[in-house]
Amino acid sequence: MTETRFHTLTYGRRIAYRYAPGDGPALVFLPGYMSDMAGSKATAVFDWAKAQGRECLLLDYSGCGESEGQFADGTLTRWRDEVAALVVALCGPKVVLIGSSMGGWLMLLAALDMGERVQALVGIAAAPDFTDWGYTAEQKLQLARGEVILEANSYGPDPTPTWPVFWQDGEAQRLLHAPIAITCPVRLIHGQADADVPWETSLRLAGALRSADVQVTLVKDGDHRLSRRSDIALLLRTLEMLP
């Protein structure tokens, strides 16, 4: 894989990225919560893009992977701005945003921010508004009091933390309660065996988007990660068939 490089933002943080030049629109992969650009889906997209001669950008949000910063300081607003800054600095005039889990929420926020520059969106178990539906009433009270929430992690030995600053910012960035002013083509892939993000979330998102060109693909036995060989093949076919 192309070596990791660093882009220094105007306020000094260094964001790790991998970039492959090529024909556009550029494919930009947005990882999920506590994930990074070394994940299997991100690397599969990058390798496929290079083989196809497509422009592609992977990145680690601040506090994640190889980027500078503390994860505890991360918010959707901060990470959206980092995505936009790297797209402006590195990519051509058109991009396709690919968002996995929380990255699916982030791709929507980035698309609203970047407007016509975004040619299409591809969500993988997209999780918009999970600060609302993903926590109990008691957990929300704890977060509102400034307490950190620790939950069991199905993907590793350490618990998954939620910091109040992330939760509060997420509550202000909810989208599903109103029409979402995105009109580009959107493809949503979701596993019906997803134990983390209900697959109905993708149907709610499809209904909220203003775009008439929205397709939802449900994988009956697919889990949240959708990282099996067959799942990744479906993702790459979806990218190949975008208008």
Catalytic residue among 190, 194, 202, 231, which? 194
Specify burial of residue 195 (Cβ count, 10 A radius: 0-12, 13-18, 19+). exposed
Q: Is 194 a catalytic residue?
A: yes
Q: Is 211 a catalytic residue?
A: no
Q: How far is CA 168 from the centre of its chain?
A: 19
The residue whose two tokens read 């995505």 is 83
Q: Is 224 a catalytic residue?
A: yes
Query: CA dist 43 to 8, 47, 57, Å?
Result: 23, 6, 10
Catalytic residue among 35, 62, 101, 202, which? 101
Catalytic residue among 62, 202, 224, 231, which? 224
Residues labelled as active-site residues? 101, 194, 224
